[in-house]
Structure 1
């Protein structure tokens, strides 16, 4: 079975920093930034490279600002 490497892209300007995605991630890839976006929210950001592409974060995001990518690795 091929292994899968994942990656996420978060639209930081649309993220309101609710944090629902953080406990949904099994590998602790997401955290709230210390910086703020244009609306003044501490947005979610990727903090490590351990994403497995499970898409739990994108599923629970109420605003749909997370896109998950998956790539097979040999």
Structure 2
């Protein structure tokens, strides 16, 4: 996790080589963390991530990783 103004931000990684740009992650994210940019998801609002992991679980390409636990491990 990264910190920005004393607020922890979840690190979300997109493997663009694996991602086919289906947008499932965008649709399943209740917090609107992602937007589609150039045909791929971009986690522009990662500070809103609640770590529900739906994006990672639902990704058919295994292209999303929601990083670390609350302790940064």
Quote the residue 1:39 is aligned against.
Answer: none
Task: List alignment gaps of at least 5 residues for structure 2.
Answer: 1-7
Rounded Cα–Cα distance in structure 1 between residues aligned with 2:69 and 2:58: 22
Aligned residues: 63
Structure 1 runs of 4+ aligned residues shifted over 2 Å read: 4-7, 70-73
With normalisation by structure 2, the TM-score equals 0.72
Runs (5+) with no aligned partner, structure 1: 36-41
**Structure 1 length-normalised TM:** 0.72
| Larger RCO, structure (CA 8 Å, separation 6 or more) | 1
Which of the two has greater strand per residue?
Answer: 1
Higher helix share: 2
- Equivalent position of 2:44 in the other structure: 47
- Secondary structure (helix, strand or coil) at the match of 2:55 reads helix
